[in-house]
Chain A
């Protein structure tokens, strides 16, 4: 089976403006949504407690709320269905957690009489841990961006690196705009998803860049726009196919992973789509706008080759001299 016409070169850059506007609008819309709605941070970040309770029959949510009112501990508690009608989670933004006064024990005592239930999960996170996680998450994100900048600069050129990083930020902001809009819990798994999208996005982009580099090195063409059109067209089938396979597995995670994986699977699902879009329509074009010059690059390459040849020559002479 073949999805794409083998030799057709699509004029991606010809319609560059449309995609640019689309990206621009989406990007700032996402920022606006995040600014207005914010994220519903999970307790990993805010500190607090989560108790997951499973009932033998449908969970009596009203009865549970009624019972919880009896205790000061649950003053700001929220009770929501989780995964199935039998299951609920009780979230409290408790600021202090005591070793001896366990929320699991307390919950079990308070809920007596609401039905036949089992406490399946108790998570308590102190406020200090959340702060640390925030700092760590942000550091990890920035460090990864920096590492990507460095490797792409080393393997290609700084303009490619800059374009790649802009594309990554574009992907991530849009993805998390969706996370904010749909009020998906932002937890530690979401940070992992964020870094994975980052990795996936750069992976896709590099495959395209590799083709661009190959064309620059092997053809005599100096029209950068044409080179990019060709590179993107040639990698398009691969980009789409891989995205499909990744999309398949992320979709199964989303469907079967349940609510507990939602913080990971949802951003991944969106991220794969946005990442694919950006590596086809955004990343390569951005290089054009950074003012990359094909002949300049070729000159630099030639210079590199010349220097290497010279070094070889000197080494040869040096060795001869010794002998």
Chain B
């Protein structure tokens, strides 16, 4: 018996397969392990869409706020200032101020200004819109990641999908309550706005329509705590959460949890200026479009800090503080797809697919042994090594094993022996034709090779396309099957050939075709 290069390759592949699949099989903490998909280990999978166009609207709104502040501080009078999803429009009453204003407008990046006879239209350039949309998605991903990290979940995945979609996978979620909390934390816009109450008209708010309010440059907002209560606020906020630097849970004099927030220097400046001018008026603290409180301003508030109180439990206040700290979402997100699997169902799926794997495998192994004798045993050995290699490769690549992936592996067992069936049939043909054992084996491999290669290439093509166009769990199926196909070329074709070479002299000597190839008839 001599070692040959095919056998050496097979042994190397076997060692590799067993070595790198060990961490997954023993569930040890060392080494790369194959990750179980959410459908097998349980957890929450969400595909979120980002309403990027709303990022554009809010950008234009904040531009409008800036213009309003600029006009006020320069004693200009502008009228009908309005911002919608496409443009900021306003009228400049005194044309003498035009040069100063144009100077300011020119400095706003990514915008185009059109002005005729004092009426201004400010739009964003397409490039700026595009950039902002990309930024909105990236920022949403970053924000969600931050929030989840602080939430303390194990191994959250937050990844961009396509252009404006975000994939969130949370394997750690086990109960319905946890899921709900995580969902709220993620989806919360956490948009903090400080808005002025329109004191001139506030008394009439109960019977004012939305349109009327808009006509006055106002907006009607609901109270967060008292149902049915409405507040009339100026449409453009004084400042928003982008100027927030910190938010912490604290307790008020009644020992109820509150959130204390701190503004940056610019925010503190704006806040100070506003409060000094508005003593006696009310300031609405608005979070995600709802008014949490509207205290009367007693004096100028410097230092740039404030408080949100709202009948929170400590846990809620905590989550809200996390959301505020990690920043507001530039654009709202919405749920496109959600799949949550309980851990018990995942365990059932693992059990069912393992059962299918073991019994399918058992059937194939018995059949091959029964039909081909020792040639069948060699084919079986190749399949076993193949399975180890699949597991090892998936662990090393960090691939995810999903339920369809398990199905792919089960299916692969049936397909993997095919190469050996083709080869064995060829060998039998050769033996029947009366050629020597050695020649029958060599020619069997040579002739079978072309067909196997041709069909494996087309199969791999199909798998690649499936991977590119498949989603989530289906990708796992394509990965498992492709790795299996590639590995089977090594084990079933090269490896089994090596084993024959090893035993060649013995096979030639004892001529027991029934034992070696399962042939009932002696060759000529």
A selection of 8 A-B contacts at a CB cut-off of 8 Å is A7-B432, A99-B183, A104-B176, A152-B458, A245-B414, A245-B417, A249-B411, A265-B407
Inter-chain contact A248/B367, CB cutoff 8 Å: yes
Inter-chain contact B462/A102, CB cutoff 8 Å: no
Inter-chain contact B335/A99, CB cutoff 8 Å: yes
Inter-chain contact B417/A192, CB cutoff 8 Å: no
Interface hit among B192-200, B211-219, B448-456: B448-456
Report the Cα distance A195→B429, complex, angstroms.
Answer: 33
- From A104, A155, A206, A237, name the one whose CB has the most chain B CB atoms within 10 angstroms: A206
* A77-99 contact mask (Cβ, 8 Å, vs B): 1 or 0: 00000000000000000000111
Interface hit among A58-66, A133-141, A292-300, A305-313: A133-141
Inter-chain contact A268/B411, CB cutoff 8 Å: yes
Find chain B residues with CB under 8 A from A255 CB. Answer: 356
- Is the C-beta of B353 less than 8 angstroms from some C-beta in chain A? yes
Interface residues on B, range: 35 or more
User: Taking beta carbons and an 8 Å cutoff, which residues of A are in contact with B?
Assistant: 1-2, 6-7, 52, 54, 97-100, 102, 104-105, 108, 118-126, 128-129, 133, 136-137, 139-140, 143-144, 147-148, 151-152, 155, 188-189, 191-192, 195-196, 198-200, 202-203, 206-207, 210-211, 214, 234-235, 237-238, 241-242, 244-253, 255-258, 260-261, 264-265, 268
Question: Of A188, A241, A249, which contacts B421 at CB under 8 A?
Answer: A241
Report the Cα distance A118→B410, complex, angstroms.
Answer: 30
Q: How far is the CB of A43 from chain B (nearest CB, A)?
A: 9
* Chain A residue nearest in CB terms to B431: A6
Inter-chain contact A238/B425, CB cutoff 8 Å: yes
- Is the C-beta of B371 less than 8 angstroms from some C-beta in chain A? yes
Inter-chain contact B342/A1, CB cutoff 8 Å: no
- Is the C-beta of B359 less than 8 angstroms from some C-beta in chain A? yes
Find chain A residues with CB under 8 A from B352 CB. Answer: 256-258, 260-261
Inter-chain contact A199/B459, CB cutoff 8 Å: yes
Q: A99-B333, A123-B340 are in contact. List 7 more A-B contacts (CB 8 A).
A: A54-B344, A121-B340, A124-B337, A144-B466, A237-B425, A246-B418, A261-B352
For residues 339 through 369 of chain B, which have their beta carbon under 8 Å from a beta carbon of chain A? 339-342, 344-345, 348-349, 352-353, 355-357, 359-361, 363-364, 367-368
Q: How far is the CB of A155 from chain B (nearest CB, A)?
A: 6
Find chain B residues with CB under 8 A from A257 CB. Answer: 352-353, 356, 407
Q: How far is the CB of A183 from chain B (nearest CB, A)?
A: 21
Q: A99-B335, A248-B360, A252-B410 are in contact. Are A121 and B49 (CB under 8 A)?
A: no
Find chain A residues with CB under 8 A from B171 CB. Answer: none
Q: A99-B187, A126-B337, A202-B455 are in contact. Are A188 and B473 (CB under 8 A)?
A: yes
Q: How far is the CB of A247 from chain B (nearest CB, A)?
A: 8
Q: A118-B344, A246-B411, A257-B353 are in contact. Are A104 and B462 (CB under 8 A)?
A: no
For residues 390 through 434 of chain B, which have their beta carbon under 8 Å from a beta carbon of chain A? 403-404, 407, 410-411, 413-415, 417-418, 421-422, 425, 428-429, 432
Q: A1-B518, A52-B345, A249-B410 are in contact. Are A242 and B418 (CB under 8 A)?
A: yes
Inter-chain contact B411/A1, CB cutoff 8 Å: no
Question: Of B334, B345, B407, which contacts A253 at CB under 8 A?
Answer: B407
- Is the C-beta of B246 less than 8 angstroms from some C-beta in chain A? no
Inter-chain contact A252/B363, CB cutoff 8 Å: yes
Question: Of A191, A202, A244, which contacts B367 at CB under 8 A?
Answer: A244
Closest 9 CB pairs of A and B: A249-B360, A246-B414, A210-B451, A140-B469, A249-B414, A252-B360, A120-B345, A199-B462, A99-B187
- Is the C-beta of B457 less than 8 angstroms from some C-beta in chain A? yes
- From A189, A199, A210, A255, name the one whose CB has the most chain B CB atoms within 10 angstroms: A199
Q: A199-B463, A245-B414, A260-B403 are in contact. Are A97 and B335 (CB under 8 A)?
A: yes
- Is the C-beta of B447 less than 8 angstroms from some C-beta in chain A? yes
* Chain B residue nearest in CB terms to A152: B458
Report the Cα distance A261→B339, complex, angstroms.
Answer: 16
- From B368, B414, B429, name the one whose CB has the most chain A CB atoms within 10 angstroms: B414
Report the Cα distance A241→B471, complex, angstroms.
Answer: 33
Inter-chain contact B337/A129, CB cutoff 8 Å: yes
Inter-chain contact A256/B355, CB cutoff 8 Å: yes
Q: A99-B183, A125-B337, A257-B352 are in contact. Are A245 and B462 (CB under 8 A)?
A: no
- Is the C-beta of B461 less than 8 angstroms from some C-beta in chain A? yes
Find chain B residues with CB under 8 A from A235 CB. Answer: 425
Find chain A residues with CB under 8 A from B418 CB. Answer: 203, 238, 242, 245-246
Report the Cα distance A152→B461, complex, angstroms.
Answer: 12
Inter-chain contact A151/B345, CB cutoff 8 Å: no
Inter-chain contact B340/A144, CB cutoff 8 Å: no
User: Taking beta carbons and an 8 Å cutoff, which residues of B are in contact with A?
Assistant: 47, 49, 176, 179-180, 183-184, 186-187, 333-342, 344-345, 348-349, 352-353, 355-357, 359-361, 363-364, 367-368, 370-371, 403-404, 407, 410-411, 413-415, 417-418, 421-422, 425, 428-429, 432, 447, 450-451, 454-455, 457-459, 461-463, 465-466, 468-471, 473-474, 477-478, 481, 518-521
* Chain B residue nearest in CB terms to A142: B465
Question: Of B334, B361, B474, which contacts A191 at CB under 8 A?
Answer: B474
Report the Cα distance A177→B336, complex, angstroms.
Answer: 31
Report the Cα distance A148→B49, complex, angstroms.
Answer: 35
Q: How far is the CB of B98 from chain A (nearest CB, A)?
A: 46
* Chain A residue nearest in CB terms to B415: A246
Q: A1-B518, A2-B520, A252-B359 are in contact. Are A147 and B462 (CB under 8 A)?
A: yes
Report the Cα distance A155→B461, complex, angstroms.
Answer: 14
Inter-chain contact A207/B455, CB cutoff 8 Å: yes
Report the Cα distance A148→B338, complex, angstroms.
Answer: 35
Question: Of B342, B417, B473, which contacts A120 at CB under 8 A?
Answer: B342
Inter-chain contact A124/B335, CB cutoff 8 Å: yes
Q: How far is the CB of A181 from chain B (nearest CB, A)?
A: 23
Find chain A residues with CB under 8 A from B368 CB. Answer: 245
Q: A1-B370, A261-B403, A268-B411 are in contact. Are A206 and B471 (CB under 8 A)?
A: no
Q: A98-B335, A244-B367 are in contact. Are A122 and B340 (CB under 8 A)?
A: yes
Q: A99-B335, A108-B176 are in contact. Are A249 and B364 (CB under 8 A)?
A: yes
- From B334, B459, B465, name the one whose CB has the most chain A CB atoms within 10 angstroms: B465
- From B176, B340, B361, B458, name the one whose CB has the most chain A CB atoms within 10 angstroms: B458
Inter-chain contact A121/B342, CB cutoff 8 Å: yes
* Chain A residue nearest in CB terms to B485: A199
Find chain B residues with CB under 8 A from A248 CB. Answer: 360, 363-364, 367, 414
Inter-chain contact B360/A260, CB cutoff 8 Å: no
Q: How far is the CB of A299 from chain B (nearest CB, A)?
A: 22
Find chain B residues with CB under 8 A from A189 CB. Answer: 404, 407, 474
Question: Of A118, A192, A265, which contacts B466 at CB under 8 A?
Answer: A192
Inter-chain contact B339/A123, CB cutoff 8 Å: yes
Question: Of B345, B415, B471, which contacts A121 at CB under 8 A?
Answer: B345
Inter-chain contact A203/B359, CB cutoff 8 Å: no
* Chain B residue nearest in CB terms to A234: B429
Report the Cα distance A111→B353, complex, angstroms.
Answer: 30
Report the Cα distance A152→B348, complex, angstroms.
Answer: 42
Inter-chain contact B335/A129, CB cutoff 8 Å: no
Q: A99-B187, A122-B340, A258-B352 are in contact. Are A140 and B470 (CB under 8 A)?
A: yes
Q: A140-B469, A189-B474, A214-B447 are in contact. Are A249 and B413 (CB under 8 A)?
A: yes
Q: How far is the CB of B457 from chain A (nearest CB, A)?
A: 6
Question: Of B417, B454, B465, which contacts A140 at CB under 8 A?
Answer: B465
Q: A136-B469, A244-B367, A257-B353 are in contact. Are A147 and B414 (CB under 8 A)?
A: no
Q: A140-B469, A148-B461 are in contact. Are A245 and B421 (CB under 8 A)?
A: yes
